[in-house]
Amino acid sequence: MINVLILGGTSEASALASAISECEIPAIFSYAGRVKAPKAQPLPTRVGGFGGVAGLVAFIKQNQITHIVDATHPFASQMSRNVLAAARQTGVPAIALTRPAWASNACDNWQHVASIEEAVRALECPPQRVLLAIGRMHLAAFSSQPQHHYVLRLVDQPTTPPPLAHFTTTVDRGPFTLEGDLALLKNQRIERIVCKNAGGEGAISKLEATRTLGLPVVMIERPTLPPRHEAHSVDEVLVWLKTSYG
Ligand code: NAP
């Protein structure tokens, strides 16, 4: 008997769900529930937090989960830590489906920062039009640099406005295109962008667009996680499942 728990919220998690469904491997897909209309998955899907490590351990036991695939976003570090702790406590093997971080080249003008707080400090400068491509969770931190006009790229229209003095929202979800991102940067007269080093293909076009337009980027680097078993492709995860299941 095999029953896989996939922690989702990324395009890689969706690709894995399709592959697992095609292989007819029993699995449950889990979303945190952050967006209004998450992408439908070809697997039984649950939505919402588990209730910390204890809740995740209980879920694993109740559902007789035999394998866990952490395919969350590289910045979802709490969930990834909880997976490691729950795997340790239950003895259920876990793997993380990860993607390499983006790297700059000689044509780029990136300022690397380690956290949202550092990104905010990097904006201590005269007023600019800044694209904040960081999701909705940490927007309030930028209220301490009220001189800027922020263009917020969000998956859903916010139900309560962020506490920023000057902002415009643009509602869209990836994968994005170079053409679309060039148009956004030009139409919004963006002078600098702030983003997370998510890696992957779905959101890389904004960096290609900044390269084309010669715009500076404040790049928030990934949180560090303890060493863990990682796969870099859907196929690698399938091999791991088949090898460890037999
Ligand atoms: P996080 O800070 O690591 O997690 C906070 C809590 O949210 C977790 O402790 C867990 O609650 C719940 N959670 C997170 N992912 C979950 C999942 N797949 N299924 C069920 N519960 C989950 O996570 P986050 O940064 O808020 O990200 C939330 C989701 O959005 C993740 O699925 C991630 O893949 C996706 N996402 C995040 C970003 C980003 O920049 N952070 C970007 C794109 C997509 P309990 O402790 O109650 O279990």
**For 196-207, what is each residue's pLDDT tens digit?**
999 998 899 999
- DSSP 8-class letter at 113: E
pTM of the model: 0.94
CB 101 within 8 A of CB 222: yes
pLDDT at 40 over 70: yes
User: How confident is the model over 70-106, as pLDDT tens digits?
Assistant: 999 999 999 999 999 999 999 999 999 999 999 999 9
Give the residue whose CA is nearest to atom 24 of ligand 1: 76
> How confident is the model at residue 85, as a pLDDT?
98
Of 14, 36, 73, 139, the one to substitute when testing ligand 1's pocket (max ligand atoms within 8 A of C-beta) is: 73
Among residues 136, 131, 184, the alpha carbon closest in space to that of 157 is found at: 136
pLDDT grade for 180, boundaries at 50, 70 and 90: very high
> How confident is the model at residue 174, as a pLDDT?
84
Q: How far is the CA of 76 from the centre of ligand 1 (A)?
A: 5
Packed helices 52-62 and 77-90: angle between N→C axes, nearest 10 degrees? 50
Whole-angstrom CA distances from 171 to 104, 156, 234 are 27, 6, 29
Ligand 1 site, CB within 6 A: 7-10, 30-32, 34, 49-52, 55-56, 72-73, 75-79, 82, 135, 196
Looking from the CA of residue 80, the nearest atom of ligand 1 is 3
pLDDT grade for 233, boundaries at 50, 70 and 90: very high
DSSP E strands in the chain: the ranges are 4-7, 27-31, 45-47, 67-70, 94-97, 110-113, 129-133, 149-154, 167-171, 192-196, 217-220, 230-231
Average pLDDT, the chain: 96
pLDDT at 41 over 70: yes
Of 56, 69, 70, 72, the one to substitute when testing ligand 1's pocket (max ligand atoms within 8 A of C-beta) is: 72
What proportion of the chain, given as a percentage, has pLDDT over 90?
94
> How confident is the model at residue 202, as a pLDDT?
87
User: How confident is the model over 99-138, as pLDDT tens digits?
Assistant: 999 999 999 999 999 999 999 999 999 999 999 999 999 9
pLDDT grade for 185, boundaries at 50, 70 and 90: very high
